[in-house]
Amino acid sequence: MKTKTILVTGGCGFIGSHFIRHWLKKHTDFRVVNLDKLTYSGNPANLSDIKKDSRLSRRYFFARGDVADSKKVDFIFKKYKPDYLAHFAAETHVDRSIHVGAKEFIDTNVYGVFVLLEAVKKFGLKKALFVSTDEVYGSLGLGSRGKFTEKTQYQPNVPYSATKAGGDMLCRAYHFTWKLPVVVSHCSNNYGPYQYPEKLIPFFVSRALKNEPLPLYGDGKNVRDWIYVLDHVEALEKVLLKGKSGEVYNIGADNELKNIEIAGLILDILGKPRSLLTFVSDRPGHDRRYAIDHKKITRELGWKPRYKFSEMLLRTVKWYVDNPAWVSAVRKKTGVVNAHIDLWKSHKL
């Protein structure tokens, strides 16, 4: 049986590492090539268990490189001849795109997508998946019952989402111009083990464990639709293998919660007082509500979320409690978590 190859970009990140682990375990006829720049949020330790399992490690190959480096990308395509591409590599943190600057986001999220599309056009493959975000759609009103569908007009409100929207538009253009076999996915907020500590849930867990205030932007009532990372990974697998080229698929789990509710649940799980909730001035361009309509992927590809939010949030919080060495190593490696806290402090924490 011929071994096939899937190229995963950003596979040392949160979602990418879960995707690689899932793919290696389920698809024994594949090898996985992981191209990762190893920026502050790219952590090889996220895949340390792969290296310990010879059945998996012999089919796993790591290459350090930037998706915006066309020479490196071309070299990877020539050497490994991937049958599939799953593109996760991205600059993702909204606050950083606002307060630190948008250039890195443009370089990776727009130009990096261009480089990959050019490689697909030049070398070919069966299917390429570009993982995007629901934030490209902008904001829904708190009083609205509507949800984002695949036909919702793009209205990105911050530099991060604008760059992701730009990458999406390039995918659309390359499919319609050159018939490239590309699909795009839009997902709601992910949570689970190995998420970088600057993100909302691990950030709140870390602060609550130290009895430090949990800062909430504005009134804390901004709503996000939450999905467990393994639900997302299984949906992406369906999109890559069964999705129709040129199509967009929205992925959500129908778990709409206010940020203040998430913070309260974390405090309750850890047995901490609600007095740790603290309100800070709102950030610029803060979208009010996200909600994903996933009827299309459920109807066409047979996917639906499997994991219960309350149970998986409990497991996620417990994972961070039980793995302080992982969090500590990330802090020591990058120092970005402290920089993130400084951003919160700049909002009068």
What is the reported pLDDT for 329?
Answer: 87
pLDDT for position 335: 60
- Active-site residues, by number, are 134-135, 160
Using DSSP bridges, classify how beta strands 127-133 and 84-87 pair: parallel, antiparallel or unpaired. Answer: parallel
The third-level CATH classification (topology) of the domain covering 4-198+225-254+289-308 is: Rossmann fold (3.40.50)
Q: Identify whether the C-beta of residue 185 lies closer than 8 Å to the C-beta of residue 249.
A: yes
Are the C-beta atoms of residues 102 and 157 closer than 8 Å to each other?
Answer: no
Residue with the bigger pLDDT between 230 and 92: it is 230
Average pLDDT over the chain reads 94
Mean local confidence (pLDDT), 185-210: 96
pLDDT of residue 334: 63
pLDDT in tens, 232-261: 999 999 999 999 999 999 999 999 999 999
Q: Indicate if the alpha-carbon torsion angle 334, 335, 341, 343 is positive or negative.
A: negative
Q: Tell me: the pLDDT tens digits for 101-122? A: 999 999 999 999 999 999 999 9
Q: How far apart are CA 20 and CA 12, in angstroms?
A: 9
Distance, CA of 156 to CA of 165 (rounded, Å): 7
Q: What are phi and psi of 174, to 5 degrees?
A: -70, -30
Match 């850890």 to its residue by tokens.
Answer: 270
